[in-house]
Amino acid sequence: MVVVGGGYGGVTAARYLKLADPRLEVVLIHRDREYLSCPGSNEVIAGMQPAVRLVRRYEQLTRRYGVRTLCGEATGLDADRRIVTLGDRSSLPFDRAILSPGVAFRWSAWEGYGEEASRRCPHAWQAGAQTELLRKQLRSLRPGGTVMIVAPPNPYRCPPGPYERAGLMAFYLKRHNPRAKVLILDTKTQFSKQALFLHGWNELYPGMVEWIPASSEGEVERIDADRRIVYSEFGEHRADVLNVIPPQKAGSIAEVAGLTDKSGWCPVDPRSFASTLAPDIHIIGDACIAAPMPKSAFAANSHAKVCAHAVAALLAGRDPGPPSLINHCYSFLAPEYAISITGVYEYSPGEGGLVAAATGETPMDADRKTEARQARAWQKNFQADVFG
Ligand SMILES: Cc1cc2nc3c(=O)[nH]c(=O)nc-3n(C[C@H](O)[C@H](O)[C@H](O)COP(=O)(O)OP(=O)(O)OC[C@H]3O[C@@H](n4cnc5c(N)ncnc54)[C@H](O)[C@@H]3O)c2cc1C
C-alpha cells in the first residue's frame, strides 16, 4: 500500500491500515520532513501560542506502528500500471494507493493575486512561512489601521477558518491597537456558524469586526497587492494588512494523475473513498468530494478511518459494509471563548452519496469557557489519534 500526503488524512490512513492488518506493507510519502498543522495556526497569528506548537513529526508512525515513511514528492501516479513516481525519478509499485494531498490554490482566479503577490499579502492558508508573515504584519499594523480578510468561495479548506481568524485578530488588536478594525470581504452570502460568530464578535469586540457579504459588494474582480486594494463588482476596499484566501482545488498530484473532475476536486465512492475514475486509487481529505461533509482535519481523519477499514476488507476479499462518518469543528473567538458545529454522516444508496444523519451547533447561551476547554482537549487527543 502506498499513501501519498503526510497530513491529517494521509497519516491517519497509514496508521489505521496497520491497525486493521499489521501484515500490510504501508509506505507513506510525505513532502516535508515535518508537518505543520493548520489547526492552531490562527492562534499563532493572534499570539496565543508559539509557532513551534504546529510542528508534527513522523517518527512514531515507524517506531510504534511499522509504517515506512519516505520524505519526497510524488510527481506522477499511473493508475493502470499501479506505480507512483517520485521527484528523484524512482518509482514505487502498489496494489492500492491512498491520496490525501490537501488543496492547491487557483492562482489565476483573481486577477493580480498569484503566488508572488502572496508574499506581500499572505493567504496563511497553509501553515509555515505564510502564518509567520501574517503574524508579523498584524503586529506592525499602524494605530487605528484596517486588516482585511478576503474569504474564498465554497468549497474550500476549513469553512469557519476565516471567521475564527477575524475574531482572534480582534482579540489581539483589542489589547494592542484598540482603534484598529477587521473587515471580512466575503465572496459568499452566508458562512459556517454565522449566528454564533456574529453574536460573539458583538459581545467581545463591539464595532471592531465587520462582515461584508457578496450580496452588497458582488464578486472580487481584481487585487492590487502593492497598494493593498481589492476591487469588487460594486466598489473598492483599501487595507493596511491584506489577507487574501484564494479559491481552491484538489492538491496538484490528483490533477496530474487524472483523478479530478471539472470541479477541480476528486469524485469518490464514500463507502471506500475509491476514485470513481480509477477504482484502485482512494482519495481522502480536502481533495475529495465528500459533501455535505466540510473540508476539515476532523473530516479527513474520519474519511481515513473508513478508507483504511475498506481497503483492508477489499484486499481480504470482504465487503467493507456501510460507512458512518463524523465531523466536529471548534472555533476560538478568544482564549476562553469557543463555539462548535457537529455532523454525523451516512451513505444513502438512493442518493449514491453521503447525507447528514444529524447536525447541530452549540446553543447561543452555552458556556463558552467550558467549550474552550473542550476545544483544547480535542486538539490534544486529535493529535495523538493521528500522529500517535
Ligand atoms: C487556518 C486554518 C485553521 C484550521 N483549523 C481547523 C480546525 O480547527 N479543525 C479542523 O478539523 N480543521 C481545521 N483546518 C482544516 C485542516 O487543516 C484541513 O482540512 C486538513 O489539513 C486536511 O487534511 P488533508 O490530509 O486533506 O491535507 P493536508 O493536511 O494539507 O495534508 C496534505 C499533505 O500532503 C502533502 N502533499 C501534497 N502533495 C504531495 C505530493 N505530491 N507528494 C508528497 N506529499 C504531498 C502536503 O505537503 C501536505 O503535507 C484548518 C485549516 C486552516 C487553513
Alpha carbon of 159 to ligand 1 centroid (Å): 13
Q: Which atom of ligand 1 is nearest to the CA of 125?
A: 53
User: Hey, how many other C-beta atoms are within 10 angstroms of the C-beta on 221?
Assistant: 14
pLDDT at 148: 98
Last residue of a domain, one of 320, 349, 378: 320
- Please report whether residue 268 resides in a domain: yes
Alpha carbon of 6 to ligand 1 centroid (Å): 9
Alpha carbon of 332 to ligand 1 centroid (Å): 19
Our answer on whether the CB atom of 69 is closer than 6 Å to any ligand 1 atom is: no
User: 102-119 pLDDT, tens per residue?
Assistant: 999 999 899 999 999 999
- Please report whether residue 327 resides in a domain: no
Are 237 and 253 in the same domain? no
Q: Which atom of ligand 1 is nearest to the CA of 253?
A: 41
Are 203 and 252 in the same domain? no
Answer for the pair 224, 236: CB distance below 8 angstroms, yes or no.
Answer: no
User: 276-313 pLDDT, tens per residue?
Assistant: 999 999 999 999 999 999 999 999 999 999 999 999 99
Are 235 and 202 in the same domain? yes
Q: Which one, of 103, 109, 132, 154, lies nearest residue 283 by Cα?
A: 103
- Please report whether residue 329 resides in a domain: no
Question: How many folded domains does the chain comprise?
Answer: 2
Residues 6+ apart with CB under 8 A from 225: 112, 113, 117, 120, 121, 242, 244
Confidence of residue 87 (pLDDT cuts 50, 70, 90): very high
Domain range enclosing 20: 2-105+248-320
Q: What is the pTM of this model?
A: 0.98
Are 202 and 286 in the same domain? no
**To the nearest whole number, what is the mean pLDDT of the chain?**
97
Are 154 and 185 in the same domain? yes
Our answer on whether the CB atom of 217 is closer than 6 Å to any ligand 1 atom is: no
- Please report whether residue 365 resides in a domain: no
User: 165-195 pLDDT, tens per residue?
Assistant: 999 999 999 999 999 999 999 999 999 999 9
Are 192 and 278 in the same domain? no
- Please report whether residue 353 resides in a domain: no
Name residue 71's amino acid.
C
Are 141 and 90 in the same domain? no
For residue 359, give Cα distances in angstroms to 290, 293, 304, 342: 16, 10, 21, 6
Among 248, 286, 330, 381, say which to mutate for ligand 1: greatest number of ligand atoms within 8 Å of CB.
286
- Cα 51 → chain centroid: 17
Among 31, 44, 326, 381, say which to mutate for ligand 1: greatest number of ligand atoms within 8 Å of CB.
31
Our answer on whether the CB atom of 297 is closer than 6 Å to any ligand 1 atom is: yes
Q: What DSSP state is assigned to residue 140? A: T
Last residue of a domain, one of 244, 261, 277: 244
Mean pLDDT, range 360-368, rounded to an integer: 95
Q: Which atom of ligand 1 is nearest to the CA of 37?
A: 17
User: 123-137 pLDDT, tens per residue?
Assistant: 999 999 999 999 999
Are 95 and 125 in the same domain? no
Are 81 and 147 in the same domain? no
pLDDT at 218: 83
Q: Which one, of 264, 281, 303, lies nearest residue 7 by Cα?
A: 303
Name residue 132's amino acid.
E
Q: Which atom of ligand 1 is nearest to the CA of 103?
A: 30
User: 324-356 pLDDT, tens per residue?
Assistant: 999 999 999 999 999 999 999 999 999 999 999
Last residue of a domain, one of 320, 350, 368: 320
Instruction: Kindly report the CATH number assigned to the domain that includes residue 188.
Output: 3.50.50.60
Are 122 and 219 in the same domain? yes
Are 264 and 173 in the same domain? no
pLDDT at 388: 86
